[in-house]
Amino acid sequence: MSFSTAKLAVALGMTAAFAMAAPAWAAPTVVKFSHVVADGTPKGQGALKFKEVAEQLLPGEVEVQVFPNSQLFGDGKEMEALLLGDVHIIAPSLSKFDRYTPQLQLFDLPFLFNDIAAVDRFQASEEGQALLNSLQKHGLQGLAYWHNGTKQLSTNKDKLTRPEDVKGLKFRIQSSDVLENQFRALDANPQKLAFAEVYQALQTGVVDGQENTWSNIESQKFHEVQKTIANTDHGVIDYMVVTNRGWWEGLPQNIRDGLTQAMAAATEHSNAAAAELNEKARATIEGAGKAKIQELTPEDKDAWRAAMRPVWAKFEDKIGKDLISKAEEANKQ
């Protein structure tokens, strides 16, 4: 609009009229959803389900554009892009929020949750739900938790059963201080790297190993550049789906309601599919015959647990003892 047309529009009260009611021919609201993993992973499937249901519920009113695989923004950039309004929904792993909400570091404590069902119970609790609002002061709003699964450890070495086996090795980690301390507790050297850089870092030997879920390992082909993957289940990768609070609250009510409904459907879909997708990915890795999958005895598992445990005490005050107890309770139900 030129300056004089703009003046004319204001004079005629046209801007006000446009703002009040979107005419039938108005362009749809574009919702950009960016994430860093492949379409076939639990998060990738959740994002596609969200698009499908949102566009079904709000035909012609909403267009959801999904950008997987760090295509639009990778780690490090996506949060900033969300705050700037360049993207509307992202779903970083809970490990990537520690600069914003220290309590979210809870999810990275090694061997805290027995399984994803326990993670789910904790997230559904009052305390878990309150954490979805913990980013409000930063201009962000949590919309849902999505599951991926438990983490496995991999290296470019043949032996990977005991904590001693990783001594001195370099590991890629997500941008989390808890994970940094976890690897220091093992006398290993952690290095924070964006997800999109992991394959190359493993391939070129910049790092010796990494920790991730079966679905992330398989879809990024990490198993092709690692020798051993130990079935440690020592932690979790789960997500918070977040939006820009100002953008979200500024949406017309019917659109926000439709997107809320679509998010609930996507959450259910993604969470129901997560375990199976990880199982399938594990089977694919096994079938590929590149990295060897190493099962651990209960004694091996105890050794990893004991080696990583000191991390808890370091973060107890930041996270809060009560919150940790609440999470532990979720194991018992």
Cα 171 from Cα 178, distance rounded (Å) = 14
Stretch that binds ligand LMR, among 36-44, 113-121, 122-130, 222-230 (CB under 6 A): 36-44
If binding is defined by CB under 6 A, does position 45 make contact with ligand LMR?
Answer: no
29 or 93: whose CB is closer to ligand LMR?
93
Q: Which of 122, 146, 171, 195 touches ligand LMR by CB under 6 A? A: 195
36 or 66: whose CB is closer to ligand LMR?
36
Q: Please report how close the Cβ of residue 3 comes to ligand LMR at its closest, in angstroms.
A: 45
Contacts of 173 by beta carbon, 8 Å cutoff, 6+ apart = 179, 180, 182, 183, 190, 191, 192, 193, 210, 211
Site mask for ligand LMR (CB under 6 A), range 76-95, x = bound: -----------------x--
Residue showing the smallest CB distance to ligand LMR in the complex: 93
For residue 240, what are the β-bridge partners?
145
> Total number of residues binding ligand LMR (CB under 6 A)?
10
If binding is defined by CB under 6 A, does position 220 make contact with ligand LMR?
Answer: no
Q: Which of 36, 47, 62, 64 touches ligand LMR by CB under 6 A? A: 36
Return the residues of window 92-121 that contact ligand LMR according to CB under 6 A.
Answer: 93
Q: Please report how close the Cβ of residue 209 comes to ligand LMR at its closest, in angstroms.
A: 13
Q: Which of 70, 216, 219, 243 touches ligand LMR by CB under 6 A? A: 216
Q: Which of 45, 152, 174, 271 touches ligand LMR by CB under 6 A? A: 174
CB-CB neighbours of 30 under 10 Å: 10
Q: Taken in order 282, 285, 286, 290, is the CA torsion positive or negative?
A: negative
Burial (CB < 10 A; 0-12, 13-18, 19+), residue 153, is buried
Cα 86 from Cα 190, distance rounded (Å) = 31
Q: Strand ranges (DSSP E) for the chain?
A: 29-34, 62-67, 89-90, 140-150, 152-155, 170-173, 189-192, 209-212, 228-230, 236-244, 292-294
Stretch that binds ligand LMR, among 35-43, 51-59, 260-268, 323-331 (CB under 6 A): 35-43
If binding is defined by CB under 6 A, does position 148 make contact with ligand LMR?
Answer: yes
Query: Minimal CA–CA distance to 316: which of 28, 38, 134, 103?
Result: 103
36 or 186: whose CB is closer to ligand LMR?
36
End-to-end CA distance of the chain: 61
Query: Minimal CA–CA distance to 172: which of 222, 223, 196, 207?
Result: 207
Burial (CB < 10 A; 0-12, 13-18, 19+), residue 131, is buried
Q: Which of 31, 32, 33, 37 touches ligand LMR by CB under 6 A? A: 37
Query: Is residue 215 a contact partner of residue 281, using CB atoms and an 8 Å limit?
Result: yes
If binding is defined by CB under 6 A, does position 150 make contact with ligand LMR?
Answer: no
217 or 327: whose CB is closer to ligand LMR?
217
Q: Which of 54, 62, 237, 308 touches ligand LMR by CB under 6 A? A: 237
145 or 195: whose CB is closer to ligand LMR?
195
What tokens were used for 251? 């949406």
Q: Which parts of this chain interact with ligand LMR (CB under 6 A)?
A: 36-37, 43, 93, 148, 174, 195, 212, 216, 237
